[in-house]
Copies of this chain bind each other. A is one copy, B any other.
Amino acid sequence: MSPADGPTLRLKRLGIDTHQEAMLYMRRDSQICRSEGFTAYSRVMVRFGNRSIVATLNQVVTDILDDGEASLSENAWALLGVADGDTIAVGHPPPVESLSHVRAKLYGNRLDAAAMRAVLDDVVAGRYSDIHLAAFVSACSGENMDDDEILSLTNAMVETGDRLQWNRTPVVDKHCVGGLPGNRTTPILVAIVAACGLVMPKTSSRAITSPAGTADVMETLAPVDLDLATMRRVIEREGGCIVWGGAVHLSPADDIFIRVERALDIDSEGQLVASVLSKKVAAGSTHLVLDMPIGPTAKVRGPQAADRLETLLLYTAKSFGLEARVVRSDGTQPVGHGIGPSLEARDVLAVLRGAPGAPADLRARSLTLAAAILELGGAAPAGEGAALAAAVLDDGRALRKFEAICEAQGGMRTPPVAPYTRPVPAKRTGRVVAIDNRRIARVAKLAGAPDDPAAGVELHTPVGSRVERGQPLMTVHSDAPGELDYAFEYVATDHIVQIEDGD
């Protein structure tokens, strides 16, 4: 189709962010809507030069758009690479053939590898609306996929994205199944493992709804927004990196499905396995350690669920030639002292430096995982990984490796310190029996995290601490007095740290 095949419209940027769903805005009374029979929420093909996307139509009935004008949601704007005043052509989209596979799956049929690939091609090309995505995710949820389908899905997720290749082996990696607040082991692990000569090219994500992602934390210590060529140079020089995954598109379908699964609060095992392993296979990993926190409020609730998930993960990993090992860990409470990019970075540095007061739980978890990676990757004989990891951490080799990685990524930084801090005093004397993690995270966000990297919360009294009335339970850090006040208003109205009698 050439642009001449459809009526054209002049773009005006309204700047509406609809996350992933591509939206087209057009006047309802436009000749095009009438003649093409477009109604609100019609699917419309939008073309600009030789690029095209399928968008959902929102019809405008006021003068925010003039006759002959149209707009696009921010993601569609970026996908097409358009600018204000550019001319787009609109028309009916071709039918999405792969939806027949989604219907077949809903009707109880199995999907073969070719069908999965056809679906994933259309998903990644943005041809599925939210309704289509939800139907596919639903069809593949529960126990509706057999082992072969999980394999096909994983493979299709890998093949519809970028793939990294490394000229060394093993390439080790680590993933935490179902995050735990403050469980910021990655920078420490990479440092230990790379110091022992293994290759660990780690891509991490930024926060979506939490006060900090690993990429946000690492960014207070070094640049993380590296292109693939720079990332390769870092790996060649230092053996390890901790960069933001945004520059490479590993398993882009995963991010799309995760949003839908989150909205439905569905996380079936098959989808979890495909999600985790597609990213790792695409990243070129050969050896993978999976941190699996188990606890009543964690993603994996108990040993039985852990057994099933472990079997499925290892079976699928093996099919891709990926050697995997699961390390089960305590998932009952958060890890470390700080919440927020800078404060979590300080915990990481404290562990690497062996500083007094460094969070013991973060250190212990890092050593356990590092031991598993070292043994799996052949850097330590079985049973000797723990001793090697501890030695490398304690004699400063891990710290020096970490500093070298930061330099290679563009120069080590000192995490910023917030200009405003205020302690939250205990309202009574007693013992801390519980801390509400969800609410603590909210205080950190009210204080400005992750946009203000120095903002967040520093916890002083973990569960089990004995506290006196007036003693600081936590300190809120902020870039501006206004945000500090805002966070405090919330702290005042809510029971975040629960204190009971006893000693």
Residues of A within 8 A of B (CB): 13-21, 25, 28, 31, 34-35, 37, 39-41, 43, 58-62, 64, 73-74, 99, 102-103, 106-108, 129-135, 137-139, 141-144, 208-209, 259-260, 263-266, 442, 445-446, 448, 451, 486, 490
A263 to B131, CA, bound (A): 7
CB-CB < 8 A to A264: which residues of B?
A: 99, 102-103, 131-132, 135
- What are 12 residue pairs bridging A and B, where the CB atoms are less than 8 Å apart in the complex? A17-B60, A31-B486, A34-B448, A35-B446, A35-B490, A102-B264, A106-B142, A130-B131, A130-B134, A132-B264, A134-B134, A138-B139
CB-CB < 8 A to A31: which residues of B?
A: 486
The 5 closest A-B pairs by CB, nearest first: A15-B62, A134-B134, A19-B40, A138-B138, A19-B41
CB-CB < 8 A to A129: which residues of B?
A: 130, 263
Q: Give the shortest distance, in Å, between A300 (CB) and chain B (any CB).
A: 17
Q: Who on chain B is nearest to A490 by CB? A: B35
CB-CB < 8 A to A62: which residues of B?
A: 13-15
Our pick among B18, B102, B263, B266 for the contact of A106 (Cβ within 8 Å) is: B266
Q: Are B103 and A266 in contact (CB under 8 A)?
A: yes
Given A106-B141, A138-B139, A264-B103, A15-B60 contact (CB < 8 Å): yes
CB-CB < 8 A to A14: which residues of B?
A: 60, 62, 64
Q: Are A61 and B74 in contact (CB under 8 A)?
A: yes
Q: Give the shortest distance, in Å, between A343 (CB) and chain B (any CB).
A: 18
CB-CB < 8 A to A445: which residues of B?
A: 34-35, 37
Q: Are B142 and A108 in contact (CB under 8 A)?
A: yes
Q: Are B37 and A28 in contact (CB under 8 A)?
A: no
Q: Who on chain B is nearest to A102 by CB? A: B264
A253 to B107, CA, bound (A): 23
Q: Are B25 and A16 in contact (CB under 8 A)?
A: yes
A15 to B21, CA, bound (A): 19
Our pick among B37, B131, B139, B260 for the contact of A442 (Cβ within 8 Å) is: B37
A20 to B41, CA, bound (A): 9
CB-CB < 8 A to A208: which residues of B?
A: 39
A133 to B133, CA, bound (A): 12
Our pick among B43, B99, B131 for the contact of A133 (Cβ within 8 Å) is: B131
A251 to B168, CA, bound (A): 63
Q: Give the shortest distance, in Å, between A149 (CB) and chain B (any CB).
A: 15
